[in-house]
Amino acid sequence: MANDGLLSLEDIFDGKFLRIPDYQRGYAWGEHQFKDFWEDLENLEDEHSHYTGVLTLEKVTKQKKDEKIEFWKRDVGAYESDKSFYVVDGQQRITTSIILVQVILESVKELNSFCGEFVNDLLSKYIVKKKPNYFTYYFGYTSDNPSYEFLKTKIFGDKSASNEKKETLYTTNLENSKKFFEEKIKNLNVNEIEIIF
């Protein structure tokens, strides 16, 4: 996906389904990277953006999906969409960003609106597309990765009968990231949270 301009998270997602392919390493960030990311956000001047680096996406064609049909069928919304992409580069940063967005939206879930939008609309924009019989997450791992179910259940809070509770170094890092941001967010008021968002 070629775009030489700077894009916001809203522009990056925009109805796309982003998947970390099985050939990519898992989520490797730890405390040092979380702190650097958070400090970058805290130190932003008003009306400035945080440049997180290059994000390289590869369109997932129907042919590629059909090559691993047993896994894609478990990810119904992404399988059916013609806007599915593999994250080829930048997965650590985009994963961290979406975990932070999830933590922020969880922290304000009792509010009717946040940043001028309904909280449920923000969840539908960045996190999950809800259908009558299933949820489809905009960001995740391919379903053959142990982090696939872990992200849905432990990070996004979904209930899943198929979660085999497989934990790895990478799933531990996902959980540590969420805990780090929960700790940071709980000390902020709503106006400060809006600024971070």
d(CA 143, CA 160): 13
**For residue 33, what are the contacts with CB-CB under 8 A and spacing of at least 6?**
92, 96
Amino acid at 116: G
**pLDDT given at position 136:** 87
Token couple for 185? 């967010």
**pLDDT given at position 93:** 93
CB contact at 8 A, 136 and 72: no
List Cα–Cα distances, 23 to 86, 88, 130, in angstroms: 10, 9, 28
Average pLDDT of each block of 10 consecutive residues along the chain (197 residues)? 69 91 91 94 72 85 92 89 94 95 94 86 90 85 88 87 70 96 95 90
Helical (H) or strand (E) element with 141: strand 139-141
**pLDDT given at position 27:** 94
d(CA 86, CA 56): 8
Residue 129, classified by CB atoms within 10 Å of its CB into exposed (0-12), middle (13-18) or buried (19+), is: middle
d(CA 34, CA 29): 7
Radius of gyration of the chain (CA): 16
CB contact at 8 A, 44 and 167: no
